[in-house]
């Protein structure tokens, strides 16, 4: 029998991966700021058409704008934390699923034990 199991993928922080993460965070912030500006523009445009109720329209757009602002705050915090972390630290990058063969007589505790893949500069360096 085969079952699915979650596997944690950790990234070892190196100078190059630190720079890549920093660039990714900055790109995400820039994208979110553009979305924020676009939402404000669309709100003003729709308010002028008077096809929608201003209160509900403003509430909807304010909610979306606040979501973007919170994401930007989170990214700013992640940038601060990235600056603090020393090279060689492990960061949880994502979780993936793997297929595990379960056979009669197999040790269940070993099968369900959480597995971890360690990546260093895009190359698998360790499987735990």
Q: Cα separation of 51 and 46, whole Å?
A: 7
Residues of the chain above pLDDT 90, percent = 64
Q: Give the 3-state secondary structure of residue 113.
A: coil
- 52 Cβ contact partners less than 8 Å away, ≥ 6 residues apart: 46
Tokens of 58: 């403003």
- 5 Cβ contact partners less than 8 Å away, ≥ 6 residues apart: 97, 98, 99, 100, 111, 112, 115
Comparing 3 with 46, the larger pLDDT belongs to: 3
> What φ, ψ does residue 98 adopt, rounded to 5°?
-125, 160
43-66 pLDDT, tens digit each? 888 878 777 777 787 888 899 999
pLDDT given at position 57: 79
DSSP at 102: -
Confidence check: pLDDT of 79 > 90: yes
Is the entire prediction scored with pTM above 0.85?
no
């Amino acid at each position: 029998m085969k079952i699915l199991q979650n596997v944690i993928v950790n990234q070892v922080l190196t100078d190059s991966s630190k720079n890549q993460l920093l660039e990714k965070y900055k790109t995400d912030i820039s994208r979110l700021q553009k979305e924020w500006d676009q939402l404000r523009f669309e709100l003003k445009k729709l308010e002028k058409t008077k096809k929608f109720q201003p209160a509900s329209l403003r509430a909807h757009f304010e909610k979306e704008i606040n979501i973007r602002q919170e994401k930007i705050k989170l990214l700013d915090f992640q940038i601060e934390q990235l600056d603090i972390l020393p090279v060689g630290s492990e960061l949880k990058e994502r979780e993936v699923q793997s297929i595990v063969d379960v056979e009669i007589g197999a040790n269940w505790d070993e099968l369900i034990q959480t597995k971890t893949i360690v990546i260093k500069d895009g190359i698998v360096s360790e499987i735990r």
